[in-house]
Structure 1
């Protein structure tokens, strides 16, 4: 039986993505985990200092991440400073016209302390479009929760190829990227027929 790891704000954890690839996740606020551009082949982290490590992205996660990917809680010597990765988000619109369940999004701000409920805050920018807001759409993450398999897929792809994107945006913002075919199979963030 896997050991149970519970995380609170600022806690750092080693995540096993596959047998030869580990990375780090850090809990920030309200089910948001931050992921860094650091990796290990065996899950050992000597001289762990994150001060100069690039943040890849942050995402809303559930217990499944700690249950299935987390292998060890680590001592963090770097103080947690919240960033735009945890403050600004893309809140997708529910698509009532059929097809994919989400289409388009609003840019939201959950505050400098990242404590506001993302479902209730007013939009900073409504109805983002590729023609006017491409940079915002590419920069910020969707509020949709991450599961263990889709998170692992995204992080493995980043460490293998350097591509750091949420494949869900292919459907939420059709036409955002034109390299879909060259990336197949896409991550488990999308249902099987769309991968």
Structure 2
């Protein structure tokens, strides 16, 4: 495990989720992380082009949430950075009264405070696809929550933040992604 993690835009870390499961994450602006649909049985990554990899999700997180998961920093000689635009649409939680979320668009500096509201008061009956597609804008600080979410995806194909179940009572878990088996 890495003893110290400093934030640097473009830095790529290898995360150990369990003994035979590693994945990559790229640091973007303002504590915004990009997670990829990439897995390895070992902490060995060569000739990986992150621009060609599918993105699982973008979330805000603290370096604390990466401690205990990050095992190495990846060299840009072995890993090509993803330079595609980061996702700017997110869900802003509504807490109290009628729980739920609004769909927002982050500022160019990836700030949530001055984000533009695109749609208010999302509801499961009308907005399920939006709720499934976009991430909550709050910062994740719990490494176990992050680890469990990633393991669930890599083991079961379900990319799901269980925090949404608190905001949207009775929401069904999204279907598993059908994965193409690699030879």
CA distance in 1, matches of 2:4, 2:110: 28
CA distance in 1, matches of 2:146, 2:22: 12
Q: TM-score, normalised by structure 2?
A: 0.84
Q: Quickly say closer, same or farther: Cα 1:49–1:122, change in 2 above 3 A.
A: closer
Q: TM-score, normalised by structure 1?
A: 0.80
CA distance in 2, matches of 1:66, 1:176: 28
What 5-or-longer segments of structure 1 have no aligned partner?
98-102, 180-195
CA distance in 2, matches of 1:45, 1:178: 32
CA distance in 1, matches of 2:139, 2:164: 13
**Given the alignment of the two structures, is residue 117 of structure 1 paired with residue 118 of structure 2, yes or no?**
no
Structure 1: 4+ residue segments shifted above 3 A? none
**Given the alignment of the two structures, is residue 21 of structure 1 paired with residue 21 of structure 2, yes or no?**
yes
CA distance in 1, matches of 2:171, 2:97: 21
**Corresponding residue for 2:36?**
36
**Corresponding residue for 1:168?**
163
Q: Which has the higher strand share?
A: 2
Is the 1:28–1:80 contact (alpha carbons within 8 Å) kept by the matching residues of 2? no
**Corresponding residue for 2:96?**
95
RMSD over aligned CA atoms reads: 1.9
Deviation of 1:64 after TM superposition, in Å, equals 1.1
Equivalent of residue 139 in structure 2, options 135, 145, 156: 145
Q: Quickly say closer, same or farther: Cα 1:7–1:117, change in 2 above 3 A.
A: closer
**Given the alignment of the two structures, is residue 51 of structure 1 paired with residue 51 of structure 2, yes or no?**
yes
CA distance in 2, matches of 1:143, 1:19: 30
What 5-or-longer segments of structure 2 have no aligned partner?
175-183
**Corresponding residue for 1:128?**
122
CA distance in 1, matches of 2:82, 2:133: 24
**Given the alignment of the two structures, is residue 78 of structure 1 paired with residue 72 of structure 2, yes or no?**
no
User: Size of the alignment, in residue pairs?
Assistant: 170
